[in-house]
Structure 1
Amino acid sequence: MGERALDGSRVAVVGASGALGSLIAHELSGRGARLLLVGRDADRLAALGIDAPLIVADVGDAAAGDAIAEAARAAYGGLDGLVNAAGVVAFGSLEETPDEVVEELFLTNVVGPLFLLRRLLPLLRESQGFVVQLSAVVAERPLPPMAAYSASKAALSAVATSLRTELRRARVTVHDVRPPHTETGLADRPLAGEAPRLPEGLAPEAVARRVVDAVAAGEQDLAAADFV
């Protein structure tokens, strides 16, 4: 897939109320994209100051994709891109990780994105659009003590790899993005456990810019090493 013009494109940013999602939304908006902002907190979405439809939804709710599709048709007549920037993290050995935490990790990081894609791919096929899946470096290099989290991000990357071939004839571009540790504050808000000692992470503004650059350039596989 080649370069993509973002000016005028219609893009849904899921997790737009989060630290990295909000920066990606601003980066896209600054390049002329017309957005749909999706998140769990209406006030935080409104505080972004971007003129765009706001959709309050949880990525783990199968109905979220239906709401996004309906809003995209109503506001813009379709959809050119989906950025999935929602995600949760947990720390601790596997045997110390509660069942409900494992379930939440996979619901938010894997199952929810699959729900979204099932409902939004028809629109993206129509526009020959793009999907950005924000995975993480642990998809490449699983780390202790975060076996469940690493597995969920690896699964998300597997979805992207499979879809890239599945959607090739439809000319839908699938971007698998696996940034290194980034200073978003997510590690300070785990579902369970305590973050291990981590090196200083990348600036989230730089990561957001690199992600949007990759979309514009048609880079489909963005490994951790591509951020340094």
Structure 2
Amino acid sequence: MPHKHLSDQVIVITGASSGIGLTTARMAARRGARVVLAARSSDVLARIAEEIEAEGGRAIAVTADVGDPEDVQRISDKAITAFGGFDTWVNVAGLTVYGPLHEISEEDHQRLFQTNFWGTVYGSLAATRHLRKRGGALINVGSIGSDLPFPFQGLYAASKHAVKGFTDTLRMELIADQAPVSVTLIKPASIDTPLPQRARNYMDREPMLPPPVYPPDEVANAILHAAVHPQRDIIVGGGGKLFVMGKEFAPGVYDEFAPAIIAMQKRSGPARDPKGALHEPKKAGRERGDQPGYVMRTSAYTRASLHPFATAGVLTAGLTIAAALLLGRHSEGTSHRNGIRRR
């Protein structure tokens, strides 16, 4: 069953100071939702909240590191204090590390997992403690990396595989408990956000996203759709869907593309900021990155998948019309042949 209309909801968004999280927060506020913005970047987060309020929306900022369970619980507590509760919780916060697995330090491995995986776990558990009584939506942002390996982003892919396993299990447990909570996993393909610029980078070249690349608005739209109309999984980007299907169909062939996938993650210029924002907040406040090359304007595949019944209806209508035309032509041909015979 659908949840509340978006304009009646309070939505908590982690990772709200940059990229997908920031885009989602602004889009939700424009559509009338009250938003709780959580991230590590205090000044940037406060400015974003002020911008939303200046445009007539309602927002509060909560400085928090999602890798700390006490910080995450504080997000929930402040949302309840400010707005009396929340209806949707979106776990967006995430970072990546570029480089071969054997070169990455244990400290960086652990920090990435603490943010991407444990941040999602802490956020999901804090959210569902509240939503079990109130009802609502939990939305976790994974990746097509939840289904695919990515050389030179191995720990990122591993963390997103773990997010998928956790999310699917939590959904099943909530169903078993008959809890009124929907659980959606969003799996974006490459999205034009500052993720590469904020990454920890072990390569000698500046990182980039492998094409095709989609705008963050497509992910934000999918997230807010799931907040009202629950879906189990949503892949953002038809190109990502093709990659996942190809790997499932021929995993050995996909493995052979490793050199090409590595090459597609390297720009021509030297690395600009190898440390990135893995261990401290940096370069927040921007929705889009500086991806070289073409960025898709929309994803027709994703937009169709958000309305499967409507899409099925259009296809059915198209097939019905096509069948009617074929039958009409067949009938005309038969009448014509019969007429010739009568003569």
TM-score range, shorter chain: over 0.9
Q: Distance in 1 between matches of 2:80 and 2:35?
A: 12
Structure 1 segments unaligned to the other structure (5+ residues):
none
**How has the CA–CA distance of structure 1 residues 197 and 136 changed in structure 2, closer, same or farther, with 3 Å as cutoff?**
closer
2:17 aligned partner: 17
How far residue 34 of structure 1 moved from its aligned partner, in angstroms, is: 1.2
1:222 aligned partner: 234
Q: Secondary structure of the equivalent of 1:53?
A: strand
Kept in 2: contact 1:97–1:192 (CA 8 A): no
Letter in 2 for 1:216: V
How far residue 106 of structure 1 moved from its aligned partner, in angstroms, is: 0.6
Letter in 2 for 1:142: P
Q: Deviations over 1:109-140 (max 9, x none)?
A: 01122122233322111211111111111111
Q: Find runs of 4+ consecutive structure 1 residues off by over 6 angstroms.
A: none
Q: Distance in 2 between matches of 1:2 and 1:36?
A: 22
Kept in 1: contact 2:128–2:138 (CA 8 A): no
Q: Secondary structure of the equivalent of 2:166?
A: helix
Kept in 2: contact 1:89–1:149 (CA 8 A): yes
How far residue 220 of structure 1 moved from its aligned partner, in angstroms, is: 2.2
**How has the CA–CA distance of structure 1 residues 68 and 93 changed in structure 2, closer, same or farther, with 3 Å as cutoff?**
same
Letter in 1 for 2:141: L
**How has the CA–CA distance of structure 1 residues 69 and 211 changed in structure 2, closer, same or farther, with 3 Å as cutoff?**
closer
Structure 2 segments unaligned to the other structure (5+ residues):
53-57, 242-300, 304-343
1:56-71, aligned counterparts within 5 Å? Answer: 56-71=63-78
Q: Secondary structure of the equivalent of 2:96?
A: coil
Q: Secondary structure of the equivalent of 2:44?
A: helix
2:259 aligned partner: none
Kept in 1: contact 2:66–2:119 (CA 8 A): yes
2:219 is equivalent to residue 212 of structure 1:
no
1:191 aligned partner: 200
Q: Distance in 2 between matches of 1:182 and 1:92?
A: 19
Letter in 1 for 2:188: P
Q: Distance in 1 between matches of 2:231 and 2:302?
A: 12
Q: Distance in 2 between matches of 1:120 and 1:44?
A: 24
1:135 aligned partner: 142
Q: Distance in 2 between matches of 1:117 and 1:133?
A: 8
Q: Deviations over 1:69-113 (max 9, x none)?
A: 221221111121111110010111111111111101110001122
Q: Distance in 2 between matches of 1:104 and 1:127?
A: 33
Q: Distance in 2 between matches of 1:145 and 1:68?
A: 33
Q: Deviations over 1:130-174 (max 9, x none)?
A: 111111111111111222110001111111111111112102111
2:155 is equivalent to residue 148 of structure 1:
yes
1:8 aligned partner: 8
1:126 aligned partner: 133
**How has the CA–CA distance of structure 1 residues 60 and 197 changed in structure 2, closer, same or farther, with 3 Å as cutoff?**
closer
**Range 75-84 or range 193-202, more displaced:** 193-202
2:44 is equivalent to residue 37 of structure 1:
no
RMSD: 1.8
How far residue 196 of structure 1 moved from its aligned partner, in angstroms, is: 6.2
**Range 190-199 or range 109-118, more displaced:** 190-199
2:170 is equivalent to residue 163 of structure 1:
yes
**Range 135-144 or range 46-55, more displaced:** 46-55
Q: Distance in 2 between matches of 1:92 and 1:133?
A: 25
Kept in 1: contact 2:183–2:230 (CA 8 A): no
Higher helix share: 2
**How has the CA–CA distance of structure 1 residues 190 and 109 changed in structure 2, closer, same or farther, with 3 Å as cutoff?**
same
Kept in 1: contact 2:93–2:116 (CA 8 A): yes
Q: Distance in 1 between matches of 2:194 and 2:212?
A: 12
Q: Which has the higher contact order (CA 8 A, sep 6+)?
A: 1
Q: Which structure has the larger Rg over C-alpha atoms? A: 2
Letter in 1 for 2:15: G
Kept in 2: contact 1:101–1:192 (CA 8 A): no
How far residue 227 of structure 1 moved from its aligned partner, in angstroms, is: 3.1
